[in-house]
Amino acid sequence: MILYGIPTCDTCKKAIKALEAAGHAVTFRDVRKDLLTEAEIDKIVAEFGDRVINKSSTTYRGFSDFLKASEPEAQIRSQPTVMKRPVIEAGGTWYLGWDKAVTDALL
């Protein structure tokens, strides 16, 4: 299981703690330090579309109008922290966020 996020994200910390407590081996991927590959970005966007972009974040609000109008792939390449977090890949299935539906599926 791979959890994509940033180490300062409280939701990512909560997800890792709960997943490990449930017996899952979690590999944490810091998207700021270990940038996503083009293939990973393409896969994530193919899975979630523009829902993966956190449009209420200060990162997104700081984008130029041109970048806001760009494709999600360009936004993530420009600033990976604009992704909603966490993004979790577990056995070929992808999950976005840490809500009841995700916790029900993974815990």
Task: Provide the residue ranges of all domains of the chain, joining segments of one domain with +.
Answer: 2-106
Residue type, 62: G
CATH 3.40.30.10 is held by the domain 2-106: yes
- What pLDDT was estimated at residue 18? 98
User: Per the omega criterion (within 30 degrees of 0), is the bond before 86 cis?
Assistant: yes
Q: DSSP class of residue 70?
A: S
Q: In whole angstroms, what is the distance from residue 95 CA to residue 101 CA?
A: 9
pTM of the model: 0.94
pLDDT of residue 58: 95
The values of phi and psi at residue 39, to 5°, are: -65, -40
Look at residue 81 in the predicted model and tell me its pLDDT. 95
Question: Residue 66 has what pLDDT?
Answer: 97
Rounded CA separation 102/107 (Å)? 8
Average pLDDT along the chain, 107 residues, taken 10 residues at a time: 97 98 98 96 97 96 97 97 97 97 97
**Largest Cα–Cα distance in the chain?**
44
